[in-house]
């Protein structure tokens, strides 16, 4: 474990559940001070107290990241953070033509606009101070088109492309950007994607734990790796996408997704 996060201040979005909550605990154990962001304030307060119990400063900063004013307010209040974990996001498991437009628009707002805006808000200060680390949470589905998760997979393809480009832009100024690509992970993600209440768990049978994914992501960020695919099976699957024509991959994915 490296010491790169010790004494640094990290802002973690989507810290009220799943991978974000696991990242917050892991960062606390690595000695980082924490700002925890999501909509559910009660969960953030409980997690902040837990992290303070590990000997670091931690505070809850409840915010709806779909709201641009809330993003600006975070930057005004926490402008000097060293580490940005852009983890908040969600999926929609439905045909695009049938999903409610408001929900699809919200997905694009949270997964793409909020992530890009927060990066734009915090990166200049990091560059001016000559140090920063930004983790953009994408997905293995960012490597291929996925029918029935089409807008979600496309949003993660955007995050993957953006993150790798930004690492090249910002590395000369001391700011490294890594893109974390998890595969199926046991969180509230699949319940939310199927329209169920957050708090439930569903999804494919074999999933990684949020803790393992968080550790792999933070290790990759500490080492300055531009793309971090979590887990050997997921790395093999991503490698295989290089050889399948995109249209064929989409049809195979459609068959697999319809069986779920
Ligand atoms: N689980 C998987 O299989 C998987 C695989 C690949 C990638 N990912 C990605 O990993 C990231 C974390 O997902 P997860 O699996 O940990 O899912 P999760 O348990 O559902 O957590 C999602 C987090 O995002 C937050 N969030 C959603 N909308 C928000 C908004 N408008 N404003 C602020 N926060 C918001 C949620 O908090 P509130 O509801 O409290 O706002 C929650 O903390 C996502 O970007 C997801 O796409 C997950």
Domain boundaries along the sequence of the chain: 9-258
193-197: long-range pairs with CB below 8 Å, 24+:
193/90, 193/91, 193/92, 193/93, 193/149, 193/152, 194/93, 195/94
Report whether pLDDT(202) > 70.
no
* Residues in the ligand 1 pocket, defined by CB under 6 Å: 13-20, 38-40, 64-66, 87-91, 110, 137, 139, 182, 184-185, 187-189, 192, 198
Q: Residue 168 pLDDT > 60, yes or no?
A: yes
Q: Ligand 1: which of 15, 21, 41, 88 to mutate, judged by most atoms within 8 Å of the beta carbon?
A: 88
pTM of this structure: 0.96
pLDDT > 80? residue 56: yes
3-state SS class at 31: coil
Question: What is the arithmetic mean of pLDDT over 22-38?
Answer: 98
Known catalytic residue at 158: no
Strand partners, 134: 84, 177
Given its phi and psi angles, is residue 66 left (phi above 0), alpha (psi -120 to 50 degrees) or beta? alpha
Sign of CA dihedral 250, 252, 253, 259: positive
Average pLDDT over residues 140-160: 96
Q: State yes or no: pLDDT of 145 exceeds 70.
A: yes
Mean pLDDT of 153-171: 98
The mean pLDDT value for 70-88 works out to 97
Q: Can you tell me whether residue 65 is helix, strand or coil?
A: coil
pLDDT of residue 259: 67
Q: Which strand (E) or helix (H) includes residue 175?
A: strand 175-181
From the number of C-beta atoms within 10 Å of its C-beta (0-12, 13-18, 19+), residue 130 rates as exposed
Share of the chain above pLDDT 90, in %: 85
Give the confidence band of 198 by pLDDT, cuts at 50, 70, 90: low
Collapse the DSSP code of 181 into the 3-class scheme (helix H, G, I; strand E, B; otherwise coil) and give the result. Answer: strand
Q: From the centroid of its chain, how far is CA 217?
A: 10
Residues 6+ apart with CB under 8 A from 148: 93, 94, 95, 254, 257, 258
User: pLDDT tens-digit profile of 90-126?
Assistant: 999 999 999 999 999 999 999 999 999 999 999 999 9
* CATH code, 9-258: 3.40.50.720
Catalytic residue among 5, 122, 149, 152: 152
pLDDT digits (tens, 9 = 90+) for 169-183: 999 999 999 999 999
Query: Which atom of ligand 1 is nearest the CA belonging to 156?
Result: 47
Residue with tokens 């099976």: 233
Q: What pLDDT is attached to residue 245?
A: 87
Per-residue pLDDT tens over the stretch 206-257: 899 999 999 999 999 999 999 999 999 999 989 988 888 888 888 888 887 7
pLDDT higher for 250 or 43? Answer: 43
- What pLDDT, on a 0 to 100 scale, did the predictor assign at position 203? 75
Choice between 15 and 206, residue whose per-residue pLDDT is larger: 15
């Amino acid at each position: 474990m490296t010491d790169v996060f010790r004494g640094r201040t990290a802002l973690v979005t989507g810290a009220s559940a799943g991978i974000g909550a696991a990242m917050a605990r892991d960062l606390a154990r690595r000695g980082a001070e924490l700002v925890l962001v999501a909509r559910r304030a009660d969960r953030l307060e409980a997690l902040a107290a837990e992290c303070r119990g590990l000997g670091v400063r931690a505070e809850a900063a409840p915010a709806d990241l779909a709201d641009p004013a809330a993003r600006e307010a975070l930057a005004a209040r926490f402008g000097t953070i060293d580490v940005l974990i852009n983890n908040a996001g969600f999926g929609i498991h439905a045909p695009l033509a049938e999903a409610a437009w408001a929900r699809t628009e919200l997905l694009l707002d949270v997964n793409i606009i909020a992530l890009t805006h927060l990066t734009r808000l915090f990166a200049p200060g990091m560059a001016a101070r000559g140090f920063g680390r930004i983790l953009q949470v994408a997905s293995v589905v960012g490597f291929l088109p996925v029918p029935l998760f089409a807008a979600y997979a496309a949003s993660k393809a955007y995050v993957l492309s953006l993150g790798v480009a930004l690492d090249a832009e910002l590395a000369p100024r001391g700011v490294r950007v890594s893109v974390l690509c998890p595969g199926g992970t046991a969180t509230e993600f699949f319940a939310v994607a199927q329209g169920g209440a957050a708090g439930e768990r569903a999804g494919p049978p074999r999933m990684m734990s949020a803790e393992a994914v968080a550790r792999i992501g933070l290790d990759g960020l500490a080492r300055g790796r531009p793309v971090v695919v979590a887990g050997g099976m997921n790395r093999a699957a991503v490698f295989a996408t290089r050889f399948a024509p995109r249209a064929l991959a989409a049809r195979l994915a459609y068959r697999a997704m319809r069986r779920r």
